């Protein structure tokens, strides 16, 4: 890598041919509910259905030819898996993906559709890492970690970079946090902006390890996967945590019921299909105690890969 591991403009140029510059949208209903001016960064409309393709593409394209000779490997519950599959296809190399049992069916189908080979594991961080490292050793594939990789964080930061370029007078950016790559990337983008922009993390109450890590100053272990926001069940990574320490104003918690309501509102009022993880930042803007009255706030809708047949979503169709 280059001397400065976080060169977001360079990453934006590198991934430009492979990702979309997603639109920033407004919704008067959301503004009224939040008492603020909200700007929705529609990463749910991104290639592969989430922001993850940014980091995966940046990482894969930075690898030397010798490093990708035997393909790339990663572990993911879905969105990063799809992203690595897409990035590997663009590079012309194999993608080997470890996914936990019970992963979102729509995401599994997409990973397979993009040409990746799936290996199953138990649904916890240790099992994911162990399986991916075994494949790396046996096949010689290059590991693309979902969030604990400077190249991935740099790529994820391009979402907030675009948002700040398009809406120059933002007071704050709210992003969801699971492993922490997107939120850490937002911190890097805000740090390079011409004016002060607060960065706020939004996390499900049933997966609050990032909140507890920031509160205690000590990286906390992953909680058992209970939240409906399956993309945010992963524990916070060490590298993102080191960036959040100084870059994040606070992390706020939202209930699963609020996540689902924000998701429903996105579908009904903004006509945007988002998955539960993708609605977490909006839920925070609408219902968390953030003191954002009349401020200009960027909201990253991080993904739209939803399984329409999932039991928890059945009340949408009643």
Give the catalytic positions in this structure.
52, 77
User: Across the beta sheet with 142-143, what order do the strands follow?
Assistant: 117-121, 95-100, 72-75, 142-143
Phi, psi angle pair for 266, to nearest 5°:
-60, -45
Q: Reduced to 3 DSSP states, what percent helix, strand and coil does the chain have, rounded to the nearest 5?
A: 50, 15, 35
Distance CA 283, CA 40 (A): 12
Distance CA 123, CA 223 (A): 11
In total, the chain counts a number of residues equal to 318
The residue whose two tokens read 């190249």 is 151
Helices 181-191 and 238-247: crossing angle in degrees, nearest 10, is 40
HEC string for 209-274: HHHHHHHHCCCCCCCCCCCCCHHHCCCCCHHHHHHHHHHCCEEEEECHHHHHHHHHHHHHHHCCCC
The residue whose two tokens read 């993850």 is 52
Residue 79 forms beta bridges with which residues?
Answer: none
Phi, psi angle pair for 31, to nearest 5°:
-60, -45
Cβ contact 163:174 at 8 Å:
no
């Amino acid at each position: 890598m280059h001397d400065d591991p976080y060169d977001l403009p360079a990453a934006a140029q590198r991934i430009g041919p492979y990702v979309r510059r997603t639109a920033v949208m407004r919704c008067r209903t959301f503004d009224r509910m939040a008492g603020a001016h909200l700007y929705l960064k529609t990463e749910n409309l991104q290639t592969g259905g989430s922001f993850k393709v940014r980091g995966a593409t940046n990482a894969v394209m930075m690898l030397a030819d010798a490093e990708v000779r035997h393909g790339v490997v990663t572990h993911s519950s879905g969105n990063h898996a799809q992203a690595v599959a897409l990035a590997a296809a663009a590079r012309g190399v194999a993608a080997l993906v470890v996914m936990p049992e019970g992963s979102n069916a729509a995401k599994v189908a997409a990973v397979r559709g993009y040409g990746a080979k799936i290996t199953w594991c138990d649904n916890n961080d240790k099992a994911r890492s162990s399986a991916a490292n075994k494949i790396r050793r046996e096949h010689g594939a290059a590991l693309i970690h979902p969030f604990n990789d400077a190249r991935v964080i740099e790529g994820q930061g391009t979402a907030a970079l675009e948002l700040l370029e398009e809406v120059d007078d933002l007071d704050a950016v709210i992003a969801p946090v699971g492993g922490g790559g997107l939120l850490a990337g937002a911190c890097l983008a805000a740090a390079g902006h011409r004016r002060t922009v607060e960065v706020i993390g939004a996390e499900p109450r049933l997966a609050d390890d990032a909140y507890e890590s920031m509160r205690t100053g000590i990286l906390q272990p992953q909680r058992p996967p209970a939240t409906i926001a399956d993309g945010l069940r992963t524990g916070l990574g060490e590298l993102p945590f080191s960036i959040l320490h100084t870059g994040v104003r606070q992390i706020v918690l939202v209930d699963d019921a609020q996540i689902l309501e924000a998701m429903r509102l996105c579908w009904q009022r903004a006509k945007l299909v988002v998955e539960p993880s993708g609605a977490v930042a909006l839920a925070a803007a609408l219902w968390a105690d953030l003191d954002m009255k009349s401020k200009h706030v960027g909201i990253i809708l991080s993904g739209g890969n939803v399984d329409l047949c999932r039991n928890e979503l059945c009340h949408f169709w009643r």
